[in-house]
Structure 1
Amino acid sequence: MPSYFISHGGGPWPWVPQMRARMQTLETALAAMPGALPEPPKAVLMVSGHWETQTPRVMHAARPPMIYDYHGFPAHTYEIRYQAPGAPALAERTAQLIAAAGIEVTLDDTRGYDHGTFAPMQVMYPQPDMPLYQLSIGTDYDPRRHVDLGRALAPLRDEGVLIVGSGLSYHNLRLMGPEAREPSAAFDAWLNAALQLPPAERVQAMLDWETAPAARICHPQEDHLVPLFVALGAAEEDPATRTYHETTMMGTITASNFRFG
Structure 2
Amino acid sequence: MTLPTLFVPHGGGPCFFMNPGAEPDPMWRPMHDYLAGLIDSLPERPRAILMVSGHWEEAAVTLHHGDGQPLLYDYHGFPAHTYALQWPASGAPDVATRAGELLAQAGFATGMEQTRGWDHGVFIPMMVAVPGADIPVAQMSLRRSLDPAEHLAIGRALAPLRDEGVLILGSGMSFHNLRERGSRVTPATDRWDAALADAATDPDPAGRMARLADWESLPEARYAHPREEHLLPLMVAAGAGGEDPARVDWRGEVLGWTVSAYRFG
Q: TM-score range by the shorter chain?
A: over 0.9
Distance 1:149 1:69 in 2: 25
How many angstroms apart in 1 are the aligned matches of 2:26 and 2:73? 21
Percent identity between the aligned chains?
46
Cα displacement (A) at 1:140: 1.2
Q: CA RMSD in A?
A: 1.3
**Does structure 2 retain, via aligned residues, the 8 Å contact 1:43–1:132?**
yes
Report what 1:91 is aligned to: 96
Instruction: Give the drift of 1:19.
Output: 5.4
Of residues 46, 50, 53, the one that matches 2:58 is 53
- CA offsets per residue over residues 158-196 of structure 1, 9 Å max, x none? 000001110000000111125862221111001111122
Residue 20 (structure 1) shift = 3.8
Name the CA distance, whole Å, in 2 between partners of 1:70 and 1:226. Answer: 20
Deviates more, 1:164-173 or 1:15-24: 15-24
Q: Distance in 2 between matches of 1:258 and 1:106?
A: 28
Contact 2:146–2:228, Cα closer than 8 Å, also in 1: yes
- Alignment match, 1:16: 18
Task: Give the C-alpha shift of residue 26 in structure 1.
Answer: 0.7
Q: Which amino acid aligns with 1:40?
A: R
* Structure 1 stretches of 4+ moved >2 Å: 17-21
CA–CA distance in 2 between the matches of 1:64 and 1:231? Answer: 23
* Structure 1 position 260 matched with structure 2 position 250: no
Matches within 5 A, 1:7-46: 7-17=9-19, 20-46=25-51
Contact 1:14–1:122, Cα closer than 8 Å, also in 2: no
Q: Which residue does the alignment assign to 2:8?
A: 6
Stretches of structure 2 lacking an aligned partner (at least 5 in a row): none
- Taking structure 2 as the reference length, the TM-score comes to 0.95
Taking the aligned partners of 1:179 and 1:219, their CA distance within structure 2 comes to 18
Number of aligned positions between the proteins: 259
Map of 1:131 onto structure 2: 136
Q: How far apart are the structure 1 equivalents of 2:63 and 2:76?
A: 26
Distance 1:102 1:152 in 2: 9
Q: Which ranges of structure 1 fall in alignment gaps of 5 or more residues? A: none
- With structure 1 as the length reference, what TM-score do the two structures score? 0.96
